[in-house]
Amino acid sequence: MTAKWPAGRRRLFGALVHHVVRVAVAAVFVVPLLWVLAASLRVPGLAPPRAIEWMPNPATGSNYARIFVLVPMGTFMLNSLIVVGLAIPLTIVTASWAGFAVSQLPRRLRRRLVISAVLLLMVPSTALWLTRFLLVRQLMLIDTLWALILPALMGSSPFFVLLFYWTFQRIPEELFESARLDGAGALALWRRLAMPLALPTIAAVSVLTFSLYWNDFINPLLYLKSESHYTLPVGLQMLQQMDKTNWPLLMAAAVVMAAPVVLLFLSVQRLFWPEGRLAGFPVR
Amino acid sequence: MLSPYLLGTLALVALPAFLSFGLAFTLYDGLAAPVWRGLQNFSEVFADPLFGTAVRNSLTFILLAVPLRLLGALALALLLRQRHRGTGLYRAAVYLPTVIPDVAYALAWLWIFNPIYGPLNLLLGAVGLPAPAWLAQSNTALPAIVIMSAFQIGEGFVVLLAGLQDIPQDYHQSAALDGASRWQCFRFITLPLLAPWLLLLTLRDIILSAQSTFTPAYLMTGGGPYYATLVVPLLVYEEAFDRFRFGQGAVLMLLLFVCVGLLLLLVYLTVRRWGYGDDR
């Protein structure tokens, strides 16, 4: 049908189809999340919906208050915040140190470390958790929040080390040379020269670290025993076990847990798109 | 300055890996001292019918999820690569499910998949499609987990977007001048130039399925119904932390390690030829 149209109109038609497809695809990804949001606003105890609801009638926000009463959500949230608050600065320091050191190494060694980090990045934690558990137990860190923060000592993820490395190696070598001639040591170079030039990377790694620790379910599941130490993910599981069918409450808890990560992501998403070129994105 | 990272890696990755070798040959419940028992753990693991089930489920998951996720990420990257009005919004929408925490995501889909009043089945019912019981039915439980995993493809999407951005525009322009169709452009320019990324993402997806399948299986189905979603990481967890059979758990980890190691070798061979991320 389109073949009979003049070229101009055909192009217009193509652009229209393209646009509609883009909107539809985006909707497919967002709609399930909207369903969850709608479910969290239902009055608990009412008969379950018979048709899809975009906005429950009557709607209520009381589920959000109820979850804090039913389980110590406030404590869980505080624990999560403590973990995240300690993990982010630790990660920034160790990952940027490692990235900086790698960027200053001779070529061959640098290449080996970069490849080893890529491989390390792909080691699934499940392949390690049993013996890691025994180690944590040996360190007497079971049932403490420290057990959760431990990975921050290695920069949390080799990916963060790589991100810092990619950023630092784009800084012109002459800058470092002249600072070195002025007698600056490695730490001073890192603090005064490298880090101020890596602010977008620091922001990106902070956000990624936040979601890594905020979302972490497996480690608290393995290491935490007492309820007063629970972080949000295990707290959510606890809420689920209390009442498996109270969907409005469970969905409210899921929204509470997801909201900070979603907001953080939306506020920094520009950094992650290729045009934004998070200084030194892996592609060149 | 490299030392915290190297020491941390040594303590948290190398040492546990090394220990699991030793542990695999012992009887150990986490309390009494480990007792040497040679290869007996291995024969017990292989004799366990659940082992075969878990391996089969994990492989099924990989066969279904990895191509779906990869093609999805590629299609989305192609669709949303050019900047028009609203592109930023659409990209954010596509990435959004990826940032949702695993536990919240699992609970959300538990609701969506609810056989009677979950929104998915209400939608399917409204348009007259059959509405299966999803997680409550053994032949749809694993596909259901595949479906929810197909929405969390933001990372592959961004990587491929960046890969596409890196293909010089003039390649396509000169091909178009030579009369190449859009499909030919894609088949002979875009695809070959993206191939290393696609390979790397495939391997990464396969390997990380050993980790990413745990939370949904543990929280949503508990491995059921009738072991239909018992995946390898869940079996490891149950052996080690429910039954305290650390020896058997270590055997499973060791096997996982060997598989992962072989795949990583493949990654290494790709990356080495190609100089991943290293300067020029």
Would you say residue B224 lies in a domain?
yes
Q: How far is CA A245 from CA A240, A253, B133, in A?
A: 8, 13, 16
Do residues B183 and B141 both lie within one domain?
yes
pLDDT of residue B27: 76
Cβ contact B100–A33 (<8 Å): yes
Predicted confidence band at B280 (pLDDT cuts at 50, 70, 90)?
A: very low
CB contact burial B31-61 (16+ within 10 A = b; e otherwise): eeebeeeeeebbeebeeeeebebbbebbebb
Is the Cβ of A3 closer than 8 Å to some Cβ of chain B? Answer: no
Least confident of A1-10, B113-122, B131-140: A1-10
Rounded mean pLDDT of B180-206? 83
The closest alpha carbon to A49, from B122, B124, B106, belongs to B122
- Residues from chain A that touch B13, judged by Cβ atoms under 8 A, are 120, 123, 128, 154
Q: Give the strand pairing for B35-36 and B26-27.
A: antiparallel
Cβ contact B20–A123 (<8 Å): no
Do residues B110 and B174 both lie within one domain?
yes
- pLDDT single digits (tens) B39-80: 777 887 787 888 888 888 888 898 899 999 999 999 999 888
Do residues B165 and B191 both lie within one domain?
yes
Q: Which of residues 71-130 of A touch B (CB under 8 A)?
A: 94-95, 97-98, 100-102, 110-111, 114-115, 118-120, 122-130
3-class SS of residue A12: helix
Rounded mean pLDDT of B23-51? 76
pLDDT of residue B274: 61
> What would the two tokens of residue A20 be?
């509609």
Judge whether residue B23 has pLDDT over 60: yes
**Which DSSP helix (H) or strand (E) runs through B27?**
strand B26-27
Predicted confidence band at B276 (pLDDT cuts at 50, 70, 90)?
A: very low
Do residues B114 and B150 both lie within one domain?
yes
Cβ contact B94–A39 (<8 Å): no
Q: What is the CATH number of the domain that holds B146?
A: 1.10.3720.10
**Which DSSP helix (H) or strand (E) runs through A178?**
helix A173-181
- Please report the ipTM that was assigned to this predicted complex: 0.83
Do residues B116 and B188 both lie within one domain?
yes
Domain containing residue B109? 64-230
Would you say residue B280 lies in a domain?
no
- Residues from chain A that touch B161, judged by Cβ atoms under 8 A, are 273-274
Question: How many domains does the structure of chain B reveal?
Answer: 2
The proportion of chain B whose per-residue pLDDT surpasses 70, expressed as a percent, equals 95
pLDDT of residue A81: 93
Do residues B94 and B218 both lie within one domain?
yes
Do residues B214 and A218 touch, judged by C-beta distance below 8 A? yes
Q: What's the gap in Å between the CA of B158 and the closest CA on chain A?
A: 7
Would you say residue B122 lies in a domain?
yes
pLDDT of residue B33: 72
Do residues B153 and B39 both lie within one domain?
no
Do residues B129 and B251 both lie within one domain?
no
pLDDT of residue A276: 56
Cα separation of A90 and A78, whole Å?
18
- pLDDT single digits (tens) A1-25: 445 567 777 788 888 888 888 889 8
pLDDT of residue B71: 93
How many A×B Cβ pairs under 8 Å? 283
Nearest CA in chain A to B245: A130
Do residues B38 and B149 both lie within one domain?
no
Do residues A190 and B1 touch, judged by C-beta distance below 8 A? yes
Q: What's the gap in Å between the CA of B44 and the closest CA on chain A?
A: 18
Cα separation of A48 and A38, whole Å?
12
Judge whether residue B279 has pLDDT over 60: no
Cβ contact A130–B92 (<8 Å): no
- Tokens 């406030």 sit at which residue? A74
pLDDT of residue A67: 84
Cβ contact B90–A25 (<8 Å): yes
Would you say residue B23 lies in a domain?
yes
- Residues from chain B that touch A262, judged by Cβ atoms under 8 A, are 96, 99-100
Cβ contact A124–B111 (<8 Å): no
Cβ contact A100–B1 (<8 Å): yes
Residues 6+ apart with CB under 8 A from B278: A110, A111, A114
Do residues B259 and B222 both lie within one domain?
no
Higher pLDDT: B210 or A217? It is A217
pLDDT of residue A4: 58
CB contact burial A89-116 (16+ within 10 A = b; e otherwise): ebbbbbbbbbbbbbbbeeeeebbebbbe
pLDDT of residue B278: 41
Least confident of A89-98, B13-22, B211-220, B249-258: B13-22
Would you say residue B237 lies in a domain?
no
pLDDT of residue A280: 41
Q: Which of residues 251-270 of B touch A (CB under 8 A)?
A: 253, 256-257, 260, 263-264, 267-268
Is the Cβ of B2 closer than 8 Å to some Cβ of chain A? Answer: yes
Do residues B82 and B156 both lie within one domain?
yes
How high does pLDDT run on average in chain B?
A: 82
Is the Cβ of B19 closer than 8 Å to some Cβ of chain A? Answer: yes
pLDDT of residue B277: 43
Cα separation of A75 and A168, whole Å?
39
Residues of chain A under the 50 pLDDT cut: 1-2, 279-284
Do residues B118 and B153 both lie within one domain?
yes
Is the Cβ of A139 closer than 8 Å to some Cβ of chain B? Answer: no
The closest alpha carbon to A83, from A276, A212, A194, belongs to A212
